[in-house]
Structure 1
Amino acid sequence: MSRRTAVVTGGAGFIGSHLCDVLTRTGFAVVCVDNFLTGSRSNIEHLRGTEHFELIEQDVNDKLAVADEVDVVFHLASPASPADYLRHPIPTLSVGSIGTLNALELAKERGARFVLASTSEVYGDPHQHPQTESYWGNVNPIGPRSVYDEAKRFAEAATAAYRREYGTNTAITRIFNTYGPRMRTDDGRAVPAFVTRALAGQPLQVAGDGSQSRSLCYVDDTVAGLLAVAESSHPGPVNLGTEDERTVLDIAQLVLGLTGSTAGIEFVDLPQDDPARRRPDTTVAREAFGWEPRTTAEDGLAATIAWFTRQLTSGAVR
């Protein structure tokens, strides 16, 4: 039986590299496409040279140069943290628009399943809580976060249009607050910022009063959700996240407890358009695929802290 081939754009990124790992372990030939704007070679170094893994170093804003037959395209390419998309606003808009169209064209040409990694950011600062897939969102189209929010909203529109116009086998997933090993220390998201400061004995910086909520989903669970969607015929959108909603202050205090840090917490200004509440309704994923997160915040954060500790000890911190 021949191996199926999966293309993963953004495959050297945080979630993308974990997805490449699981795909290779479960019998896929994997083509990883990345230009390393925010991805890291270290994330996929252990896969280099293996028989069924290929790296194509290119910008997905160019036509994808994939020679083989393709069974599924996972489109994850994009800066995904506030620090990255504020630093790279135009590339973020480009990869969400031109890059998505190129990835969709590849799927259309090869008759492949297409899975878009969209984001909870399409809901903006939501007026509906928890957020269901039918909610249209509350997004500031010209604010600093808009380059990411609107790029993903365009990507969703393009994915739906390809399904309607060409019959392309597409699916949209909306990923919520994923965390875990291989996050960069400087990517601006709460978990790596809290963990690295706690391990360094520095106070954890909490924006505002910390009452804004997030729903942390461990990366292994997110990848399992992406694979479940890929193996189905469901068009989405599908929320992938946990319904375990916690305040940012609670998350900071949990990190302090798990690391044994006594550095405490300091409060800093709240960023513009920072969502006040974030929790997915995961009924669709649960009923359609039997998917739900299995990793508790305590276990996931403990594994993440252990990984960052090894990175700091070895001097391999990014």
Structure 2
Amino acid sequence: MICRLSARPAVRLLLATFAVVPTIVHAQGGSAKKGIENRTAASPVAGQKRLALIFGNTNYDGQLFAVNLLHPKTVSLPVTLTAVAVPLPPSNESNTDGTKINPKDGAEMIRIPAGDFLMGDEDRSDNKRRTVNVPAYYIYKNLVTVEMYEKFCKATGRKMPPEPEYKSNKFNPGWSKRDHPIVNVSWNDAKAYCDWAGMKLPTEEQWEKAARGTQGNLYPWGNDFDRSKLWCSKLSPGDAGGTTRAGAFVSGASPYGVLDMAGNAWQWCEDWYDSSDKERVLRGASWFYEDAVVFRASFRGRYSPSDRGLYVSGFRAVSPGLP
């Protein structure tokens, strides 16, 4: 077996089949200042066993070493090899560098890789189709929930917005559905939350790339509108309206695995809608709508940043940069 060491601190897993119990492998010597101990783990895979070599930080950059899977062995680096190294699998939209948790509010974040994507729509004068390059960032997998927003309010002394009562068009002082997205929040409210959480509101470019991927999908899941993949008005006969649990429609995930990028609640973005600097952008539409066009990843809404948007405006956050 041949493995490649990398100087990056990220964990890498390389797989190989073997017929004996796992072995501890030590690599030391050469130009290394310290030895590297590699832990192994085995599990049945299609009648065989799988060996995973887990590497920590190292001074070696792209050097190769050979491992005898049948016996523990110490080798020196660098090693002269005649075989070809096994390449790492190529990256793609559904296999990014993984997720992480924001310790401030417990939100799961998905890494969106750097690169170009097709943004906009030829049918929209305010968001024409074009290629945009976006640096890598993390975005919340789900909308900010009632429970998360309540934690923010308790920590900062802010007041919770009243909960909308959709049937009567009234508002209650309390929130009964804590796993639903928080709504009835202004752009200013959303920004204050992001500041507290060490995050920021997404730009339109960040939001749209996370929603549609690099190929310019009309909707997060593809190019055909499918009402079963999102929460929207008249989803079922007699539906009284209102939000549903954040992240409930897994089948409607974007190419990166981000949920609720269409329907459930509008989502505030960082940008002004136009040069008048009077209204901020909203994306994703909400449960209140049923026309397919408003759920397109390119569709833009707008509202005054100081107004709460009644019962349809929520938000998610992105990282200010990659740590």
Q: TM-score range by the shorter chain?
A: under 0.3
**Rg larger in structure:** 2
Q: TM-score, normalised by structure 1?
A: 0.21
Q: Which one has the bigger helix percentage?
A: 1
